Structure 1
Amino acid sequence: MLWHTTRFRIDLSTPKVMGIVNVTPDSFSDGGSHADAKSALMHCEQLLKEGADILDIGGESSRPGAPTLSAEDEWARVGPVLLEALKLRVPVSLDTCKTEVMQRALALGVDIINDIRALQAPGAESAVVAHGQCGVCLMHMQGDPSNMQSRPQYSDVIEEVRTHLQGRVQALVAQNVSRDRLCLDPGIGFGKTPQHNLDLLRRQNELLDLGLPLLVGWSRKSTLGQVTGKPVGDRLAASLAAALASVHQGAKVVRVHDVAATVDALKVWSASEIPPILWPTASQSAPQSTTLLNPHSP
């Protein structure tokens, strides 16, 4: 299984680690740690040294109750970081839901658009369709960051997430977006109670029949704090456990803050040869390196 992106074909026969780079002053876990371009780029380089396969760069916090940022302010944060990160010869993802920011990033050559709103903003679908090559991650969210945790309700959370993601996939495929460009995220913590999140983890394999790779982000989430009683800075062990459980349930990409520890945990998990829940055609061969399509591109 390959995830087709702007410059890369990402081999998903083994789980990949997406390192989080928040260029924000107010993200729930590491807000302010990498809020300027220089420190954010240094963080990118550090995550690559630790073994990150993909960098996910975002300029607007999506924590519950987070204020909305203008497209211009968001671009002022992420634009300089993207420009330099694209020189690092690894897949670069942009975490945004704003069409204008997507368009400017795609013009630079960004590889993946990671959208918590699943390209539902006006013009977002058209931006991806017009580009023709970028990878896309479609996430499920009930409500929006300003109200998503008010009173999230589902009759069957896994079925409603599945139906929503299926609809978004169908909308893009109808516009000739190739399925091998798409990846799906169930949206842990986005309009869901702790029980909803745990149900999604327990039944995550039911999303595999959508026929697309899953990207899952449990890193430092509040549900882990509810389960363990630990504050956000002490959730490393819980984050690792959730990442491994997600991979065992078929996730192909885990989005994390703690790259080095996650890489090590996945190495041990892989070496243990515990039969995971995988795609019927998934290869069990040794990891293959991500392929650079154009070595001369930025």
Structure 2
Amino acid sequence: MDETAAKTTQIMGVLNVTPDSFSDGGLWFDHDRAVAHGLELMAAGADIIDVGGESTRPGSARVDEAEELRRVVPVVRELAAAGAVISVDTMRARVAAESLAAGAHIINDVSAGQSDPTMLSVAAESGAPIVLMHWRGYLDQASATFHYDDVVAEVISELRTRIDEAIAVGVEPANIIVDPGLGFSKNAEHNWQLLSALDEFAALDHRLLVAASRKRFIASLLSPDDPIQAEQAAKDQATATISAISAQAGAWAVRVHDPATSAVACKVIAAVREHSAAAAHSAADSGTEGAGR
């Protein structure tokens, strides 16, 4: 990876190997189609493929561990053999461990280690980076309205608790990635407030992942009277805008269904930041405040 690429916010492409995910449930449930779509995501600009075998949409039922393993591990193995960088989207330590053994690189746990108490130990022992996402409930509670006096301060505080717990069991601080958990235990207003304060999450001294893609609060913005009628292309355009905002705030990665639009947005932000830094450096070297026009 060249220096410019290293400064660009990474694109994490969503690969749901499920029959019931909110946006694309059933489309990639077949093994061969899942692998093919993973390769398509890479070709479209995804730096990381996030493979998940259990839906986290509001009201979804949990699958048993054996079924989640059956869905996920063979796909991870085949994509890893094709050179993909893979994160495994799971709340189960065994699924994480077997996926890492099959070639995955990152654990993405929406419960931040709260669903399976051994997850953080798997991360510590494997040395794999782990995404700690903010939430306040299990899958069937994910859309519940929760009260916040100050959503930004409270989400940051609760993430700090999860960070401290991870470090306490041996996870290296450099391997911790934080995710504000847009759409989980939050209403639309909470989500927009969190997005307006991404720089505060970036200041936590851990990598930041932002996962807004196609979520209901975006659909509600685009089609207030009937969010279900919001067009997918428009949701992807809105997602790309959020990706640009996230990149500007210094996010390490954005998790998206459509890598192409977000990859362009993040490259633009990286180019602007690079040239802004170069201009500032040049001005400092010349002893001026910067060129006028």
Same-fold call, TM cutoff 0.5: yes
Computed over aligned residues only, the root mean square deviation of the Cα atoms, in angstroms, reads 1.9
Aligned to 1:233: 232
**Higher RCO (CA-CA < 8 Å; seq separation 6+):** 1
Give the secondary structure class of the aligned counterpart of 1:146: helix
Aligned to 1:122: 117
Cα distance in 1, alignment partners of residues 96 and 186 from structure 2: 26
Report 1:171-182 matches (<5 A): 171-182=165-176
Aligned to 2:153: 159
Cα distance in 1, alignment partners of residues 231 and 213 from structure 2: 10
| Length-normalised TM-score, structure 2 | 0.86
| Length-normalised TM-score, structure 1 | 0.84
Cα deviation, 1:54-96, whole Å, max 9, x if unaligned, reads 1100000000001111111111111110110111223210000
Q: Are 1:105 and 2:99 an aligned pair?
A: yes
Aligned to 2:68: 74
Report 1:183-198 matches (<5 A): 183-198=177-192
Cα distance in 1, alignment partners of residues 72 and 210 from structure 2: 22
Cα distance in 1, alignment partners of residues 179 and 31 from structure 2: 27
Give the secondary structure class of the aligned counterpart of 1:214: strand
Number of corresponding residues: 266
Report 1:10-29 matches (<5 A): 13-29=7-23
Match of 2:55 among 35, 45, 61: 61
Amino acid at match of 1:231: A
Cα distance in 1, alignment partners of residues 218 and 86 from structure 2: 27
Cα deviation, 1:215-238, whole Å, max 9, x if unaligned, reads 001111110111111526241211
Cα deviation, 1:92-131, whole Å, max 9, x if unaligned, reads 1000001221122122232000000001222112222222
Amino acid at match of 1:189: G
Give the secondary structure class of the aligned counterpart of 2:131: strand
Cα deviation, 1:218-274, whole Å, max 9, x if unaligned, reads 111110111111526241211111111122222120000001121122223333449
Cα distance in 1, alignment partners of residues 268 and 205 from structure 2: 27
Q: Are 1:96 and 2:90 an aligned pair?
A: yes
Name whichever structure is richer in helix by fraction. Answer: 2
Report 1:126-275 matches (<5 A): 126-131=121-126, 133-229=127-223, 231=230, 233-234=232-233, 235-273=235-273
Give the secondary structure class of the aligned counterpart of 2:69: helix
Give the secondary structure class of the aligned counterpart of 2:100: helix
Gaps of at least 5 residues in structure 2 are 224-228, 277-293
Cα distance in 2, alignment partners of residues 21 and 178 from structure 1: 27
Give the secondary structure class of the aligned counterpart of 2:54: coil
Cα distance in 1, alignment partners of residues 7 and 173 from structure 2: 17
Q: Identity percentage over the alignment?
A: 36
Amino acid at match of 1:241: T
Gaps of at least 5 residues in structure 1 are 1-10, 277-298
Aligned to 1:30: 24
